[in-house]
Homo-oligomer: A and B are copies of this chain.
Amino acid sequence: MEERIAVLIERFKREQGEILILSHEAPDGDSMGSGLALLHFLRKKGKKVHFLSIDGVPYMYNFLPGAEEVITDYSGIADLAVLVDASRVERSGLEKPYPFKEVIRIDHHLVGEDYSEYDILDPGAPSTGNLIYDLLKAWDRYAIDSAIATCLYTAILTDTGSFRYSNATEKAFTDAAELVELGADPAMVSRMVYMRKHLTTYRLLLRVLSSLKLDFDGLVAYITILNRDLEETGASRIEAESFVSYPLSLEGVEIGLKFEEEEGNIWRISFRGKGKVDLSKVALELGGGGHFNASGARIEGGMDEVREKVLGVLKRHMERAGLLQERK
């Protein structure tokens, strides 16, 4: 990995044209924090850089240094794009023809193969933020200021679920400690990310918790969020982002699901696990992707039909993992 990072640094150094950093759609803290850290650093190195997030900056990340500079569309043709926290350009939400000549990917998800000598794809990294941090350290550690440290710390914090998921490895903690030394303020970041909830969020939570259902002898729990729930509580979609942790956190539950209605008969399904079933494979089979313990997919159809399909695929993977007896 060190060698690849050295090669990528040389590539960046050579670039004299426009660089376009790309987050994925519905960006999370890792995509936002990683992308902004890279933006600040490359600018310090005299590069012409933009950060494009087609869905903008979610409310909870609007405190990040540079958040106000994130653009939602780009009119030129950049020489180089850097896709952070996603391995396929389609995940950026951009449509062809793409507004760049070449793309480099920096990502820690399980899917994707290198197709550029400059790609940094490492599913062993706790977050894309850790990969960006390795890159910046290798390039010039003294250029990492407190703004960059704050962005990278936010990436690690949010992608490890406040250091609760299985990607809370020794490296996650070591990097966090270094970033705190470099000026990241964990209490401030947590306050901004997690402690600016709206009353509407709790109104929505009250409805969503009432939708909680258990299946497969209590191994699976799921909640459902309807468009009606959003309309009637006045909550926005992003406020339900972390609600999947409620079904997952029940005793005995191995897999927590969130079924979320979107426009046009589309359902967005979030999968969260406790380590026994590879949910990246479950999601992949349903046209999505993600991590072993956290993945997602979008499916079109009626509510019952979609639920049946998802639970059916999940059942096979649970059987294979030995969680359920195969039944004929």
Contacts and interface: CB of A to CB of B under 8 A. Distances in A.
Contacts of A177: 170, 173-174, 177
Contact of A173 (B161, B176, B191, B196): B176
Interface string A197-219: 11100100110011010000000
Given A186-B164, A186-B168, A249 B194 contact: yes
Most chain B CB inside 10 Å of its own CB: which residue of A163, A199, A248, A250: A163
Given A177-B177, A181-B170, A187 B202 contact: no
In the complex this chain forms, how many copies of it are found? Answer: 2
A167 B148 CA distance: 22
A114 to B, nearest CB: 28
Nearest to A181: B170
A233 interface: no
A249 B275 CA distance: 29
A56 to B, nearest CB: 19
A258 to B, nearest CB: 15
Interface residues of A, number: 40
Contacts of A7: none
Contacts of A205: 209
Contacts of A191: 274-275
Interface in A166-185: 166, 168-170, 173-174, 176-177, 180-181
A187 B209 contact: no
A190 interface: yes
A165 interface: yes
Nearest to A246: B202
A157 B191 CA distance: 17
11 contacts: A161-B190, A164-B186, A164-B194, A166-B186, A173-B173, A173-B174, A191-B275, A194-B249, A195-B251, A196-B250, A199-B250
